[in-house]
Amino acid sequence: MNPSYLFGVYQPGTSPLHRAWIGAKVGGLAAFSLSVVLVRSVEAAFVFLAIAVLAAAVARIDLGLLLRSLRPALVAAVIFAGIQWLLYGPAKATETLVDLVALALAAIVVSSTSPVNAMLDSFIRWITPLRHVGVDPERVALTIGLAIQALPGTVALAVETRDAARARGVRHPRAFLTPFVIRVVARAQETGDALHARGIGDD
Amino acid sequence: MATIELEAASVAAPGADGDTVILEPTTLRLTEQRIGLIGANGSGKSTLVRLVNGLVTPTSGRVLVDGLDVARDGAAVRRRVGFCFTDPAAQLVMPTCVEDVELSLRRSVRDAGERHRQALAVLDRFGLGAQATLSVHSLSGGQRQLLALAGVLATDPSILVADEPTTLLDLANTRRVTETLFTLPQQLVVVTHDLDLARRCDRVLVVEDARVRFDGPAEAAVADYLSTVPL
């Protein structure tokens, strides 16, 4: 297993979180995320981080894998925290940094203890009543599943594009961002073609 | 075997300076089990095979698969025609191997447990049983292409279209994927630059400048193609 791609990848196991009902996990993640956003204090941020770390420990996710898969989220969190520092000072920056890490950690715990297809089945069950108002549950669930899966694929594209820029000795951010955006769009089109070819969305 | 028919099917792309012809009007009836397409990059091979699955619809003319019009009966055609792309990374859309195969089975197998069992059986058949719960990103290039094939063939289509399935693979994986393709019971339509692979086909089309330049037995087709390639 390439550790960079733990995000969104189910890790088989027998922990209580692996055995927990998916509805409880997804609902818990939603409630957790909402709380992180709504409760604004540095102390609360550390409490949320502690809860996420505890969940990861209960799920028995390998620590090394966890830290490496957190790295992309950590980089983004540091950038956002830096902006917050400039605008609002160190306290706000710390809160932002810890909140984002807690959210990423909680998301990793849920995605690594829940098979995506099982999550899709649950989503479909929950939103099936909306079929009466024109919502296609299969399509909505697939969109959510693809969003989860897109994370590791996009990270892989980012790493490849960065390496290509380095290999050419180019350091300017545009040398990374322009080909990265083009590749992400191209991959999205290819994925659309692949789904179409597999007849997914036909029914 | 299934029957693929192109009736004066052409493809053009609109542009600022008028339409660009990607495939000239083409009439073909394909009934052989192994059909190869060879030709230069950009000659129109991929467009031609994409017509068979409905990924591309003809600008004029018709494409029929077992009598079903690809433009009108797209969903029914796609149940009969599986499509394997050059780059499996674009085709694998679920995080783990078993989940990706399960995605293909969602339409036909409603019970989640049964779907999982069938997906595992398909992976075993393609020698990927041990990788079932691994990330699709952790597989080698050859394993990814085999997984993409497994995902397509899980639904048991009667035709498999493969667009340069070995182009990104090393020699060992090229052989492995080729052997897999040529032991399938399905009708195979394969675009390739591998002339050894093309020679194993029952019928080979040489595509050049948006038209089929040669259509016939493999050896004669390969000889014709080689005669057009400058040294």
Q: Which of residues 39-78 of B touch A (CB under 8 A)?
A: 53-55, 74-75, 78
Residue B45 has pLDDT above 90, yes or no: yes
Judge contact between A86 and A24, C-beta under 8 A.
Answer: no
- Partners of residue B138 in chain A, C-beta under 8 Å: 1-2, 5
Q: For position A147, what pLDDT does the model report?
A: 78
Q: Rounded to whole angstroms, what are the CA distances from A17 to A26, A27, A161?
A: 11, 13, 36
Q: How confident is the model at residue B215 (pLDDT cuts 50, 70, 90)?
A: very high
Tell me the CATH class for B33-51+72-228.
Answer: alpha beta
Tens-digit pLDDT profile for chain A (203 aa)? 443 445 556 788 899 999 999 889 989 999 999 999 999 899 999 999 999 999 999 999 888 878 877 887 888 899 989 999 999 999 999 999 999 999 999 998 998 898 877 887 888 888 888 888 888 887 787 787 777 777 777 877 888 888 888 888 887 888 888 999 998 898 888 888 888 888 776 66
Q: How many CB atoms are located within 10 Å of the residue A203 CB?
A: 11
- CB atoms A138 and B106 under 8 Å: yes
Residue B192 has pLDDT above 80, yes or no: yes
Q: For position A203, what pLDDT does the model report?
A: 61
- CB atoms A198 and B90 under 8 Å: no
Strand segments, DSSP code E, in B115-169 are: 159-163
Two tokens, residue A22: 């998916």
Burial label for A16, CB within 10 Å (0-12, 13-18, 19+), is exposed
Greater confidence, B59 or A65? B59
pTM of the predicted model as reported, rounded to 2 decimal places = 0.76
- CB atoms A117 and B151 under 8 Å: no
- Whether A203 and chain B come into contact, CB under 8 Å, resolves to yes
Q: For position B49, what pLDDT does the model report?
A: 96
Distance to chain A for B118, nearest Cα, Å:
14
β-strand pairing of B203-208 with B34-39:
parallel
Q: For position A3, what pLDDT does the model report?
A: 39
**Chain A nearest-CA residue for B54:** A197
Segment B19-36 shows an average pLDDT of 95
Q: For position A2, what pLDDT does the model report?
A: 44
**Chain B nearest-CA residue for A9:** B95
Q: Rounded to whole angstroms, what are the CA distances from B208 to A15, B8, B13, B26, B62?
A: 59, 17, 17, 12, 21
- Partners of residue B107 in chain A, C-beta under 8 Å: 199-200, 202-203
DSSP 8-class letter at B96: B
Q: For position A8, what pLDDT does the model report?
A: 56
CA-CA distance, A82 to A79, in Å (whole number)?
5
